[in-house]
Structure 1
Amino acid sequence: MIFYYSILNAFLFFVNNGYFNKSGSEIDVFSYWEFLFYSASTITTLGYSEIKPTNIWSQIISLTELYMGMFIVIFVFGNFISLYMNKLLNEE
């Protein structure tokens, strides 16, 4: 999923250069690896803020990526807790 969003973000950047802004830089030149890092930090909810979405479409994509990351974490932990509780109840 991280790769999908990084490709989507890179596509948005190459379509229109104004979708993202690199903090502390006058020139906004990005590589695919920077978008991969941005997607990984967004989906894991770290958000280092090196790259900021500046257009409504890039902000919407970033928000959906953030919510998908939170959903995955909640789903995985929910399944682990469910398996653990089923194991505890079956032992009694």
Structure 2
Amino acid sequence: MPWPSTGSCAPPQPGTLDPQWLAQLEEVREHVGSEPPLEVLYVFVLAWSRLYGMVSMEAFGHLAFALTDPGPVFEQTLREILVLLGADR
């Protein structure tokens, strides 16, 4: 099945990714079982790592040294992920 080319997310232009990303993104593509463009995978990895990192930091109390309420930084991170994915606020 061909990967859809429409949507509101604006991934990097083909050929503009840092070569250090390309081999790693090829490995990710092997695991997803389809052929999404590497640029789409790049956006996915950025969004996933930000979300996973924030959830982990909050769950394990790694924000407690600086924040008594991690809610606002979590909400800001979600807004930034939505912007990365091309969603309206």
TM-score tier after normalising by the smaller chain length:
0.3 to 0.5
Instruction: Please report the TM-score for the alignment, with normalisation by the length of structure 1.
Output: 0.33
Name which structure has the greater RCO, CA cutoff 8 Å, separation 6+.
2
Structure (1 or 2) with the greater helix fraction: 1
Instruction: Please report the TM-score for the alignment, with normalisation by the length of structure 2.
Output: 0.34
Larger Rg: 1
